Amino acid sequence: MSRVALVTGASRGIGRATALLLARQGYAVGVNYLKDETAAQQVVTEIESLGGRALALQADIADENQVVAMFAKLDATLGSLDALVNNAGILFQQTGIEQLTAERINKVLTTNVTGYFLCCREAVKRMAKRHGGQGGAIVNVSSAAARLGAPWEYIDYAASKGAVDTLTTGLSLEVAAQGIRVNCVRPGCIYTEMHASGGEPGRVDRVKSGLPMQRGGYPEEVAEAIAFLLSDAASYVTGSFIEAAGGR
């Protein structure tokens, strides 16, 4: 039986690259998406063309009922969950604190924090039931911004990722004895549509000369770090953080 993974926000960007890499490694993959069903189905089709198994799963990770229903559908179709990649996230346009509204802050926190908690909760419920300390593995996708703070850009987003880091540390300790590993990847500036949808297309090229490696990263490079932390090669690694940020 192949292992089963769920990747949130997997219709594009880092989530898409991770879903495809995990499929190539033999996982059956739940491809969560929010709105873009066509793109999610394309990921599923690509995985099937590799001979793998996948299922597109619509759910807003910030909505408790939708998350519960998504995990139930995954159980009924792909089977028992081995790996969760909490990847779906949002970022809004650059602004200083004086322009931040409660609506924006709440939107960022409910998606980037509440959504991660809800998916962790549903994954742990399932992984904790297994025997022999083979619970499963969770990777939370945070951001280099968690440590940098992103002043005058998006401190709301940075703060949400700080919460993701703390969630990783706390949960890794809470579930370690059940054989569930919880780790985190902090990407830096990656070529995806996130910055464009946050109002700054071309951001990576604008800032890349200031990065230690002097280039932006690619979703596939982040996916490799995620896949490592999920894999048996990381069987004694929990509560750890990998920077996939070109030295940033």
Q: What share of the chain is helix, strand, coil (3-state, %, to 5)?
A: 50, 15, 35
Instruction: Spell out, one character per residue from 16 to 45, where the chain touches ligand NAD: x when CB under 6 A holds, - when not.
Output: ----------------x-x-----------
Nearer to ligand NAD, 179 or 211 (CB): 211
Residue type at 143?
S
Tell me: does residue 61 bind ligand NAD (CB under 6 A).
yes
Number of residues engaging ligand NAD in binding (CB under 6 A): 27
How far are the Cα atoms of 140, 164, 247 from residue 4, in angstroms, in the given order? Answer: 17, 23, 32
Q: How many CB atoms lie within 10 A of CB 35?
A: 10
Query: Any residues with CB less than 8 A from the CB of 239 and at least 6 apart, and which?
Result: 168, 169, 172, 173, 176, 182, 183
Judged by CB under 6 A, the chain residues 140 through 169 that form the site for ligand NAD are: 141, 143
Which of 4, 5, 6, 15: binder of ligand NAD (CB under 6 A)? 15
Residue type at 236?
Y
Instruction: Spell out, one character per residue from 186 to 215, where the chain touches ligand NAD: x when CB under 6 A holds, - when not.
Output: -x-xx-xxx--x------------------
Which of 3, 6, 7, 8: binder of ligand NAD (CB under 6 A)? 8
The two structure tokens encoding residue 8: 């949130």
CA–CA gap between residue 108 and residue 104 (Å, rounded):
6
Judged by CB under 6 A, the chain residues 216 through 235 that form the site for ligand NAD are: none
**What one-character-per-residue DSSP string does 37-84 give?**
HHHHHHHHHHHHHTT--EEEEE--TT-HHHHHHHHHHHHHHT-S--EE
Tell me: does residue 183 bind ligand NAD (CB under 6 A).
no
Tell me: does residue 89 bind ligand NAD (CB under 6 A).
yes
Helix (H, G, I), strand (E, B) or coil at 36: coil
> From the CB of 23, what's the least distance to ligand NAD, in Å?
17
Helix (H, G, I), strand (E, B) or coil at 212: coil
Which of 14, 57, 108, 113: binder of ligand NAD (CB under 6 A)? 14
- Told to judge if 236 belongs to the known catalytic residues of this protein, a careful annotator would answer no
The dihedrals phi and psi of 7, each to the nearest 5 degrees, come to: -115, 120
Q: Of 116, 154, 157, 218, which one is the catalytic site residue?
A: 157
Nearer to ligand NAD, 43 or 135 (CB): 43
Residues that bind ligand NAD (CB under 6 A): 8-9, 11-15, 32, 34, 60-62, 87-90, 111, 115, 141, 143, 187, 189-190, 192-194, 197
Catalytic residues: 157
